[in-house]
Chain A
Amino acid sequence: MTARFRAVYGEGPLHLAGHLAVIGMVGYVVVQLADARSALTILLWVVAAAVLHDLLLVPAYAVVDRILRTAIPRLGIPAVNHVRVVLVVSGSLALVWLPSMLGKADGNIVRNAGQEPGDYLARWLLVTGGLAALSAAAYGLRVLRAHRVEQLDDPVGPAADEDSPRA
């Protein structure tokens, strides 16, 4: 019986029950939203969120990372992760606060909060610059230390670079 079910449906009966339950709940939500006369727009936003993420954001970081891995010269100590950490941290800040940084909320900040909006873009650039400086300093320290070890332990140079992608 279960085997025949599986042949037709492709998964077990519990799989079907669980999925029907969730799809039923989503149906209930759509009915509730229909009362709020916004179901269609919200549905559009949900699909757009997934599409923009999967077809824009993910390819964007894949491309940036590929450029990083090919463009950063592979000298003694790999620098790629020193660049990655700056891009990931600063990029996350930008992703969250982009509307504020572009001044999109300035009107509401003045009207609702009664405050002058901050110069969020400048602050983000400062934070990004600070992160880049810290990361570069950490890289510099690693290079210096490797040089010292090299001088002490001659003739063996810094550990062979197994990490960087092979051409």
Chain B
Amino acid sequence: MRLLPEQPPPGPSRPGFWRSPLRGTWLTSALGSLLFPAILLLGLTGFLSHAAYNPALGDNAVVPPGGNILLFDWPTSPSWLYAANQGFHVIAGITVLPLLLAKLWSVVPRLFGWPPVRSVGHALERLTLLGLVGGGLFVFVTGIFNAQLFYPWPFNFVVAHYYGAWVFLGSMLLHVAVKLPAIRRAYAERGVLTPLRRSLAETRPEPFEPGGLVPPDPAAPSISRRGLFGLVGAASATLFVTSVGQSIGGPLRRLAIFSPRGASLGTGPNDFQVNKTAATARVTPALVANWRLDLRGPRPARLSREDLLRMDLATHDLPIACVEGWSTTQRWTGVRLRDLAALAGASGAAEVRVESLQPQGGFRQATLSAGQIDDERSLLALMVNDADLSMDHGFPARIIVPALPGVHNTKWVASLEFLA
């Protein structure tokens, strides 16, 4: 009993439709061998980024708690930890896209393979391949759009990107396990690097096998295999050079010509990148007039900005680093969080819940850990680069904690509630 004809219909399901002389198991193995460690590192930095938000504390969780894996008490040292992690995650993600597309190009005849389903096992494999290809592209597209503040979807980016990564990574590990014998055979037969030594004149198709990736009637090569890797490398290098500046900062920032945070903003003390302006957060001058910090704990207190400025102030150079991958290091001056904890009679507090004057939004509050309160460099900052904070940077006072994700460095702080 046969539902489909034995011979494929004319078109891409016929092996003769495909002509590229470079397609073959070795090429796909080589592209995959570069892509695999890159995706693992992207996954690792992604999960670290999730852990950096301390989602188990207070109302920090954005992702439903069933997704909390690989959590640990996020450290405060080195202070550039989150900036480096997130810069790597975003810049590497952008950089690796051409490699992902080349890998998918190398196997596209498989999509149209005939018969579409050979067995139950084959059907399950194709189902997980949809998770691999669709999930992978989904994670890349959402991440890349987020890095340029473009949100054409109705769902929460963090939740979708996070769970998309689960599907992508899970199906990728399975895929590599299934394909490992074929990869090893390709390397054993063709050599790991040997095909890359061949010039265009020496480039030959891999041997044809029925049902394989090599076309039965390949066209004459017009590029060598190393030429193909060169094309991918040139695209990746260009993407890297034109985006890494948003994370590194300094003179390189000007090279990030397509990034929203690529421009230099000026030379004033408050002329550095803003995640969300006061106007957008609906924090008005009226809202900050007659401001008092609401300090809660065993000994509650209300402190004016002048009260805070009369306390023992500390100054530290610390980065602001955003989930979008950009970061900037500035010199912050303010009151140590541990001094404020002591003032509230809450020395050694387990956590502090920080709330903003900002009336709405998921990040109008954040909860910090004991280690973050206790770090000598964790500040309720009042000044930046020896000047008062501007409204956009969180006047009258904002949190600055080393290695903390940018949005948890709450701006326009209204209250600090120390919890034992």
Contacts and interface: CB of A to CB of B under 8 A. Distances in A.
Interface of A: 8-11, 15-16, 18-23, 25-26, 28-29, 31-33, 35-36, 38, 41-42, 45-47, 49-50, 53-54, 57-58, 61, 69, 78, 80-81, 84-85, 88-89, 91-93, 95-97, 99-101, 104-105, 108-109, 111-115, 117-118, 120, 123-124, 127, 159, 162-166
A36 B238 contact: no
B280 A120 contact: no
B94 A113 contact: no
A25 to B, nearest CB: 5
B303 to A, nearest CB: 28
Contacts of B48: none
Contact of B124 (A23, A58, A99, A159): A23
Contact of A104 (B150, B159, B273): B150
Contacts of A19: 121, 124-125, 127-128, 174
Nearest to A80: B222
B164 interface: yes
The 6 closest A-B pairs by CB, nearest first: A10-B119, A11-B121, A50-B134, A38-B155, A49-B137, A99-B150
B367 interface: no
Nearest to B120: A9
Interface of B: 64, 66-67, 94, 97-98, 101, 104-105, 108, 111, 118-122, 124-125, 127-128, 130-131, 133-135, 137-138, 141, 144-145, 148-156, 159-160, 163-164, 166-167, 170-171, 174, 177-178, 200-201, 219-223, 227, 230-232, 234-236, 238-239, 242, 257-258, 260-263, 265, 273-277, 279-280, 392
Contact of B220 (A57, A93, A124, A164): A164
Nearest to B277: A114
B149 A109 contact: yes
B66 to A, nearest CB: 5
B248 to A, nearest CB: 18
A120 B135 CA distance: 28
Contact of B105 (A25, A26, A58, A100): A58
A111 B166 contact: no
A120 B276 CA distance: 21
Contact of A113 (B150, B201, B273): B273
A23 B280 contact: no
Given A89-B235, A89-B238, A118-B262, A99 B138 contact: no
B121 A22 contact: no
B171 A22 contact: yes
A38 B156 CA distance: 8
A20 B121 CA distance: 10
B174 A93 contact: no
Contact of B104 (A16, A53, A80, A91): A53
Contacts, number: 229
B223 A84 contact: yes
Contacts of A80: 222-223
B127 A115 contact: no
A147 B223 CA distance: 22
A68 to B, nearest CB: 9
Given A112-B274, A112-B276, A114-B274, A99 B148 contact: yes
Given A33-B159, A109-B260, A114-B277, A42 B231 contact: no
A88 B235 contact: yes
6 contacts: A11-B125, A19-B121, A54-B133, A85-B230, A117-B260, A127-B257
B276 A100 contact: no
B273 to A, nearest CB: 7
B239 A113 contact: no
A31 B174 CA distance: 21
A114 to B, nearest CB: 4
A26 B149 contact: no
Nearest to B21: A165
A117 B389 CA distance: 24
A21 B167 CA distance: 11
B223 A165 contact: no
A33 B170 contact: no
Nearest to B93: A96
Contacts of B94: 96
A46 B273 contact: no
A108 to B, nearest CB: 4
Nearest to B62: A36
Given A25-B166, A26-B167, A84-B223, A45 B153 contact: yes
A144 to B, nearest CB: 20
A42 B121 CA distance: 26
Contacts of A101: 258
Contacts of B170: 22, 25-26
B130 A47 contact: yes
A50 B150 contact: no
A41 B154 contact: yes
Given A42-B164, A47-B130, A123-B257, A18 B148 contact: no
Contact of A85 (B101, B156, B234): B234
A25 B169 CA distance: 11
